């Protein structure tokens, strides 16, 4: 995945090979911003954080209460 640091638009390797700079920024703002390579797992740190209520990989007690017990 290639991403524009200015507008955040993402492009596939095949699409990015056709452009030397972000086509969206070029069309909207008339500026040339190079596309940078980005690995899928290095997106944003906020997505890497555990969900609210879960600390250290342990389940929240309120989640256990709703579980079905036979």
Looking at residue 46, its pLDDT comes to 47
What separation, in Å, do the N-terminal and C-terminal C-alpha atoms of the chain show?
Answer: 47
Looking at residue 16, its pLDDT comes to 87
Looking at residue 35, its pLDDT comes to 94
Looking at residue 39, its pLDDT comes to 82
Q: Which of 58, 9, 60 is nearest to 38 (CA)?
A: 9
Model confidence, pTM:
0.52
Looking at residue 38, its pLDDT comes to 85
Size of the chain, expressed as the number of residues it contains = 70
Boundaries of every domain in the chain: 1-41
Q: What is the mean pLDDT of each run of 10 residues along the chain (70 residues)?
A: 93 88 95 89 52 52 50
């Amino acid at each position: 995945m290639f991403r524009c640091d200015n507008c955040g638009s993402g492009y596939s390797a095949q699409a990015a090979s056709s452009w030397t700079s972000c086509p969206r920024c070029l069309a909207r703002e008339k500026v040339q911003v190079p596309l940078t390579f980005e690995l899928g797992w290095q997106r944003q740190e906020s997505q890497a954080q555990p969900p609210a209520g879960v600390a250290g990989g342990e389940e929240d007690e309120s989640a256990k209460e709703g579980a079905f017990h036979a």
